[in-house]
Structure 1
Amino acid sequence: MLIAALLCLSVAVIVGILGLWLLTRPHSGDPVRTVLRAVAPTQLAAAVMLAAGGVAALSAEPRTGVVVVTVCVIGAVATVAAGCWQSAKVVARAEAASTVGSGGGCTGSCASCTLSCS
């Protein structure tokens, strides 16, 4: 359990530092940077979960530690994945709204696109 605890704590520190670094970056118009910055809070939450798993692996009996570490790792990965999904949806909606608002997107009728291609 010592190896699992050290791995969890090390990854928690790395993910936490990456999340703090992304939060300190200036705002950008780049959609990729916007998604990365929006995922930073979920990375910090994942770092806390991993740290809790590492501490439990160090202090609990081995059978309990395995269960807690497994739950914490799965929770951390799922939290970051859900944060990425939600952030990407928000940025995609904003990009679509800016494209439609600028006249470059759909005008609302399929006939205008169909007729303009002929």
Structure 2
Amino acid sequence: MLVAAVLCLCAAALTAALGAWSLMRRPSTDYVQQVLRAVAPTQLAAAVMLAAGAVVALSATAPMSVVILVVCVAGATGTVAAGCWQAAQAVGRRNAQQSATAGGCGGSGGGSGCGTCTLSCDR
């Protein structure tokens, strides 16, 4: 149980460091950087869950600590996965909206881009 607790603490520290690093960086126009920055709060929440699981694993009795550690790790993994999915959807919607208003197909580009546009046009 000691090894699992130490691994969980290391994962918590790494996750918190990545989340803090993403928040401290300047906002970018790059899609990947936008998603990473949007996921940072969920990474910090996952780090708290992992740290709590590690503390319980170090202090509780064996059967209960295993269950709590597994629940904390599953919760942290699910939190980060859901945060990534939601952030990617939000950034994708925002970028699609920006490209539509910036002269994409059907925009104010005068119809010159519809022949080479990858977006669906009404023409």
Do both share a fold (TM > 0.5)? yes
What's 2:6 paired with?
6
Structure 1 runs, 4 residues or longer, greater than 2 Å off: none
- Percent identity, aligned pairs only? 57
Name whichever structure is richer in helix by fraction: 1
What is the root-mean-square deviation in Å for CA atoms of aligned residues? 1.4
What's 1:90 paired with?
90
C-alpha separation in 2, matches of 1:51 and 1:42: 14
Change (3 A) 1:98 1:59: same
What's 1:49 paired with?
49
Higher relative contact order (CA 8 A, sep 6+): 1
1:18-65 residue CA offsets vs partner (Å, 9 max, x unmatched): 111110000111010000001000000000000000000000001001
What's 1:25 paired with?
25
What's 1:65 paired with?
65
Aligned AA for 2:87?
S
Equivalent residues, number: 111
Structure 1 unmatched runs, 5+ = 113-118
Change (3 A) 1:111 1:90: closer
Structure 2 unmatched runs, 5+ = 108-119
State the shift of 1:100 in Å.
Answer: 1.1
TM-score (norm. length: structure 2): 0.86
Aligned AA for 1:47?
A
> Does structure 1 retain, via aligned residues, the 8 Å contact 2:23–2:37?
yes
Change (3 A) 1:110 1:28: closer
Aligned AA for 2:74?
I
Aligned AA for 1:76?
A
What's 1:37 paired with?
37
TM-score (norm. length: structure 1): 0.89
Aligned AA for 1:3?
V
C-alpha separation in 2, matches of 1:104 and 1:111: 12
Aligned AA for 1:102?
A
Change (3 A) 1:106 1:38: same
